[in-house]
């Protein structure tokens, strides 16, 4: 794997090591949240690409608030024993982790933060579940020595695509939520999916440009995966949906990195749905191999992250 200091992009691991002077590790928590796109009178199936487990970490086999203490204890024990972890980050990962009242959320966040000497609170959620009261709640945890991150799922800036995949919100909801978080100095990582139905290179790079203009602190890039438990799987079986190859996704990522601000942290470049739950693509490279390919493509063109930022058009 390439030396992190020589990479042509700002890697998440290098950022964490620079910030804390050593490696930092996320302790993932599943608090038993659901999603407004599955509950509350919407379709019931959620986004068409989403599997039943809602992006739950593979080791979180039990869910719900009553399991949080056990989850944190297991996570801390594992990371400490295997990696001698000293810097721990609390990560609310599965489903929509602001889908509740402010009082409920405060109780959940406080309960977990008290279980270990965490240095960050990281909350993954949807744009339509960030409003003024919840943004204020998240901001209340931020101090000079304690960061709050929100991972905000956008996936595409194209409303036609968002409707096509039954996302349940439009792009305006994302820009509104992003502004609420930015006004409160909450660090935000934006999620984009490359290869959604009906989107090719032009649409993908337009999403990247629109997000880049916001200068987000972080970004996660995913290649479209089709889990066997997702609604999109039915379309895949009919032959009406395809997914980009690993090679094509690497090309997309290498180009996208040149369009992003040079300081934006690249937190993820691929999706990692376990093979037992993944219908397509049938083969995916290891993260290290994929990273190596992105680096090779960028070095071949003598490009670095931010070389084409800001981009016209």
Q: Which three-class secondary structure string do you get for 11-63?
A: EHHHHHHHHHCCCEEEEEECCCCCCCCCCCCCCCCCCCCCCCCCCCCCCCCCC
| pLDDT score, position 3 | 55
Closest CA to 130 of 192, 92, 184, 180: 180
Q: Please report how many Cα atoms fall inside a 13 Å half-sphere around the Cα of residue 2, on the Cβ side.
A: 20
List beta partners, residue 123: 92, 150
pLDDT for the residue numbered 268: 97
pLDDT of residue 58: 43
Q: What is the tens place of the pLDDT at every residue in 1-56? A: 455 558 999 999 999 999 999 999 999 998 888 888 776 545 567 899 988 654 44
Does residue 148 lie within any of the structural domains? yes
Structure tokens at 20: 């804390």
**pLDDT of 39:** 67
Quick one: average pLDDT of 270-275? 90
Least confident span in 42-56, 264-278, 298-312: 42-56
Tokens 């960030």 appear where? 130
Provide the mean pLDDT of the chain.
Answer: 91
1 assigned to some structural domain: no
- For residue 260, tell me if it sits in a domain: yes
Q: Which residues of 167-189 are buried (b: 16+ CB within 10 A; e: fewer)?
A: bbbbbebbbebbebbbebebbbb
Which pairing describes strands 187-194 and 147-155: parallel, antiparallel, or unpaired? Answer: parallel
The answer to whether 137 and 108 have CB atoms below 8 angstroms apart is no
Residue 57 pLDDT grade (very low, low, confident, very high; cuts 50, 70, 90):
very low
pLDDT the model gives residue 7: 96
Domain, as residue range, for 250: 9-300
Confidence band (pLDDT; 50, 70, 90) for 311?
Answer: low
Q: Structural domain tally of the chain?
A: 1
Q: Find out whether 36 and 126 touch, Cβ atoms under 8 Å.
A: yes
Residue count (the chain) = 313
pLDDT at position 103: 96
Output the pLDDT for position 59.
Answer: 42
> Quick one: what percent of the chain has pLDDT higher than 90?
81
Whether residue 2 contacts residue 292, with contact meaning beta carbons closer than 8 Å, is answered with yes
Residues 144-171 pLDDT 10s: 999 999 999 999 999 999 999 999 999 9
Average pLDDT over residues 71-94: 95
CA atoms of 32 and 62, how far apart (whole Å): 9
Q: What pLDDT does 175 receive? A: 98
Residue 311: inside a domain, yes or no? no
**Does 153 fall in a domain?**
yes
pLDDT tens figures, 169-225: 999 999 999 999 999 999 999 999 999 999 999 999 999 999 999 999 999 999 999
Which pLDDT belongs to residue 32?
83
Can you name the residues that pair with 27 across neighbouring β-strands?
90
Q: Per the domain annotation, does 211 fall within a domain?
A: yes
What's the CATH code of the domain at 230? 3.20.20.70
Task: Supply 204's token pair.
Answer: 């993908």
Strands 278-280 and 226-227: antiparallel
Q: According to the model, what pLDDT value does residue 5 have?
A: 58
| Residues 151/89, Cβ–Cβ less than 8 Å | no
Per-residue pLDDT at 312: 47
Tell me what the mean pLDDT of segment 286-292 comes to. Answer: 95
92 assigned to some structural domain: yes
The C-alpha atoms of residue 106 and residue 138 are separated, in whole angstroms, by: 9
Cα–Cα distance for residue pair 94/88, rounded to 1 Å: 18
313 assigned to some structural domain: no
Q: What pLDDT is stored for residue 34 in this prediction?
A: 80
Say what the pLDDT of residue 60 is.
45
- The whole-number pLDDT of residue 66 equals 65
Residue 174 in tokens = 């994302």
């Amino acid at each position: 794997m390439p030396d992190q200091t020589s990479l042509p992009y700002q890697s998440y691991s290098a950022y964490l090591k620079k910030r804390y002077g050593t490696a930092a590790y996320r302790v993932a928590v599943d608090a038993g949240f659901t999603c407004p796109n599955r509950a509350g009178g919407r379709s019931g199936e959620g986004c068409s690409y989403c599997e039943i487990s809602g992006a739950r970490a593979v080791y979180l086999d039990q869910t719900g608030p009553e399991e949080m203490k056990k989850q944190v204890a297991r996570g801390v024990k594992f990371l400490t024993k295997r990696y001698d972890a000293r810097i721990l980050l609390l990560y609310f990962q599965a489903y929509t982790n602001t889908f509740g009242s402010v009082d409920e959320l405060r109780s959940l966040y406080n309960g977990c933060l008290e279980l270990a000497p965490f240095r960050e609170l990281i909350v993954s959620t949807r744009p339509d579940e960030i409003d003024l009261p919840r943004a204020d709640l998240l901001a209340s945890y931020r101090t000079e020595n304690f960061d709050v991150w929100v991972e905000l799922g956008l996936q595409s800036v194209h409303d036609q695509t968002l409707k096509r995949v039954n996302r349940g919100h439009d792009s305006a909801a994302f820009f509104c939520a992003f502004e609420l978080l930015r006004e409160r100095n909450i660090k935000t990582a934006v999620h984009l999916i490359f290869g959604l139905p009906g989107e090719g290179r032009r649409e993908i790079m337009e999403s990247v440009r629109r997000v880049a203009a916001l200068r987000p602190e972080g970004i996660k890039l995913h290649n479209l995966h089709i889990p066997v438990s997702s609604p999109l799987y039915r379309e895949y079986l009919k032959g009406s949906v395809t997914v980009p190859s690993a090679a094509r996704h690497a090309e997309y990522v290498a180009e996208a990195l040149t369009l992003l601000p040079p300081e934006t942290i690249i937190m993820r470049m691929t999706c990692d749905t376990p093979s037992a739950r993944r219908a397509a693509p049938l083969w995916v490279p290891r993260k290290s191999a994929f990273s190596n390919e992105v680096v090779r493509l960028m070095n071949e063109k003598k490009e670095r992250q931010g070389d084409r930022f800001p981009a016209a058009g």
